[in-house]
């Protein structure tokens, strides 16, 4: 049987970047992916790096804020190793709210500030005209970045291959193998692979692999991308919708939160509602063209916190349940998991994320 030092289940951004990190430490690493690497949640994500976003649970804030700070270096390393540009945009986010309840670090501003000649922290937003019809709403600014997750995960895949990470795609892991009370590898639909370390980074599918189960549930998000509208500079978010511009002119609009099992179909009514909510914020989008509509499956957990740590089975680790923030949390997840796997001493207290909290 072929053997590696570590096997990673799942070729999304978390699995691939963890594979690179372990490989850099000298381990021989195999990534096993049930479909094509980078084609599930990492492909579907919007790519907002909202480290202090109001929807992030308090227990996760120290990790999410640190991960946002780590992003420029994380990106530059992947870009250097792969030659793929991942469209890290640092223009910030405009929040628009009916009731003015913003994440704590948001800086409120008046609408006319967007179009004054004086340079402001925000800078003007070409997508929002001076008389935009939004004047009755509250607006605020956050210094957040965004990234193109599809480019990011392609860069991670290329960098992983370049570093000598082995990838087995189109191969489903059926079961974790156990020998003398510790992990000894995995059994797939086709064969078996041996390793003394196995890390489950299988996103919404992480809970399907026995014998150790995790309560991970797919939470569907439908999204669309438009082209040919007004160029947007900032990410724009309201209670109903978010708009994430890419440097190639696409604007990604999202998203829903649906408990629909593993169904990834989109429906026209939902996509149309998202589009209308986007047009309410940026009227010029009415003349844009729908370029694509899709749905992805976020790995949700009962307490909306990730699952990070060693399981009850020695040598078998898990890093999943990143719910709405898998792209954002990739750098910090890689750091804490690498520490945990290799030196057993992560800088962060991972107590709130322990796999054992569900047993």
List of residues contacting ligand GLY (CB under 6 A): 46, 48, 221, 254-255, 298, 324
Name which of 28 and 240 has its Cβ closer to ligand GLY: 240
Q: How far is the CB of 60 from ligand GLY (least distance, A)?
A: 13
For residue 7, is it left (φ>0), alpha (ψ between -120 and 50) or beta?
beta
Based on CB atoms, which residue is closest to ligand GLY, 218 or 254?
254
CB of 224 to ligand GLY, least distance (A): 13
Q: Provide DSSP, 17-68.
A: HHHHHHHHTT--EEEEESSSTT-SHHHH---EE-TT-TTS-GGGHHHHHHHH
Q: Is the peptide bond before 98 cis (omega within 30 degrees of 0)?
A: no
When the beta carbons of 46 and 202 are compared against ligand GLY, the nearer one is 46
Q: How far is the CB of 47 from ligand GLY (least distance, A)?
A: 8
Give CA–CA dist 208/56, Å, rounded: 26
State in angstroms the smallest separation of the CB of 327 from ligand GLY.
7
CB closer to ligand GLY, 143 vs 169:
143
Residue with tokens 């990673």: 8
Nearest-approach distance from CB 31 to ligand GLY, in angstroms: 24
Nearest-angstrom CA–CA distance, 11 and 20: 11
Q: Which residue is listed with tokens 């649906």?
A: 258
Rounded to whole angstroms, the maximal C-alpha distance in the chain is 71
Q: Please say whether the beta carbons of 189 and 172 come within 8 A.
A: yes
CB of 107 to ligand GLY, least distance (A): 21
Residue 53 or 185: the one with the smaller Cβ distance to ligand GLY is 53
How far apart are the C-alpha atoms of 79 and 69, rounded to whole Å?
17
Which C-beta is closer to ligand GLY: that of 7 or that of 153? 153
Which residue, among 175, 157, 174, has the nearest Cα to 166 in the 3D structure? Answer: 157
């Amino acid at each position: 049987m072929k053997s590696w030092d570590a096997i990673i289940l799942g070729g999304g951004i978390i699995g691939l970047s963890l594979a690179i990190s372990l490989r850099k430490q000298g381990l021989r690493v195999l990534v096993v992916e049930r479909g094509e690497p980078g084609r599930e949640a990492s492909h579907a994500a919007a790519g907002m790096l909202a480290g202090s976003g109001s929807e992030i649970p308090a227990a996760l804030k120290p990790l999410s804020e640190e991960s946002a700070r780590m992003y420029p270096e994380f990106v530059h390393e992947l870009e250097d190793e792969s030659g793929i540009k991942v469209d890290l945009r640092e223009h910030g986010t405009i929040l628009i709210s009916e009731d003015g309840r913003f994440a704590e670090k948001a800086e409120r501003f008046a609408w006319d500030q967007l179009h004054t000649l004086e340079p402001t922290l925000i800078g003007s937003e070409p997508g929002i005209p001076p008389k935009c019809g939004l004047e009755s709403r509250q607006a605020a600014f956050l210094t957040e970045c965004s990234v193109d997750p599809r480019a990011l995960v392609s860069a991670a895949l290329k960098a992983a291959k370049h570093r000598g990470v082995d990838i087995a795609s189109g191969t489903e892991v059926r079961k974790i193998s156990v020998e003398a009370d510790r992990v000894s590898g995995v059994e797939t639909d086709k064969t078996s692979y041996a390793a003394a370390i196995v890390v489950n980074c299988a996103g919404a599918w992480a809970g399907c692999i026995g014998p150790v189960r995790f309560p991970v549930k797919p939470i569907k998000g439908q999204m669309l991308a438009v082209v040919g509208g007004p160029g947007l500079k900032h990410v724009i978010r309201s209670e109903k919708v978010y708009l994430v511009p890419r440097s190639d002119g696409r604007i990604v609009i999202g998203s829903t939160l649906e408990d629909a099992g593993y169904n990834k179909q989109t429906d026209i009514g939902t996509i149309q509602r998202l589009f209308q909510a986007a047009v309410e914020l940026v009227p010029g989008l009415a003349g844009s063209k729908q370029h694509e509509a899709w749905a992805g499956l976020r790995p949700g957990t009962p307490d909306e916190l990730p699952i990070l740590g060693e399981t009850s089975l020695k040598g078998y680790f898990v890093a999943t349940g990143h719910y709405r923030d898998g792209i954002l949390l990739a750098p910090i997840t890689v750091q804490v998991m690498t520490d945990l796997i290799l030196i057993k001493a992560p800088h962060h207290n991972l107590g709130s994320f322990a796999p054992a909290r569900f047993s």
